[in-house]
Amino acid sequence: MKNYGFISNNSQVKIGSLAIGKGATVNAHGNTESEKERDEIIQKIDECVELIRENENSLENVGELLDSISIIKAEIESKSPNKTTVKGVINELASSVASVASLAVAVGTLKSAIMAII
């Protein structure tokens, strides 16, 4: 008898669809979970852009902050984001906006959402 089981040792597995066993099939329709998460992150990025623009008088280097957000957005939208780039840029962004409470919270929320998928 063949074992068609699924084994995962000491790991976390996110699965949109899974079929195990002889002749098993999966039919997936619509957005997968990762696409939904990605869409939510893009929405959070857009919110951060708005907050940066609203608080530009309280921030130094607004252009660089917007460039950083653009880099993050481009990586998240790509099929295989560069995790090192995203982590580095989001960490730098978070420290750069720490002086503006609403923006620090928004970037912190964005950072948590990004870290959950990469």
Tell me the two tokens of residue 80. Answer: 């295989």
Q: Which amino acid, residue 78?
A: S
What local confidence, expressed as pLDDT, does residue 9 receive?
A: 73
* CB 37 within 8 Å of CB 23: no
The whole-number average pLDDT for the span 8-23 is 69
**pTM attached to this predicted model:** 0.73
Per-residue confidence band for 13, with pLDDT thresholds at 50, 70 and 90: low
Per-residue confidence band for 64, with pLDDT thresholds at 50, 70 and 90: very high
What local confidence, expressed as pLDDT, does residue 107 receive?
A: 97
Cα–Cα distance, 65 to 81 (Å, whole number): 19
* CB 68 within 8 Å of CB 48: no
* CB 65 within 8 Å of CB 59: yes
> Would you list the domain boundaries of the chain?
33-117
What local confidence, expressed as pLDDT, does residue 118 receive?
A: 86
Question: Which burial class, exposed, middle or buried, applies to 82 when counting CB atoms under 10 A from its CB (0-12, 13-18, 19+)?
Answer: middle
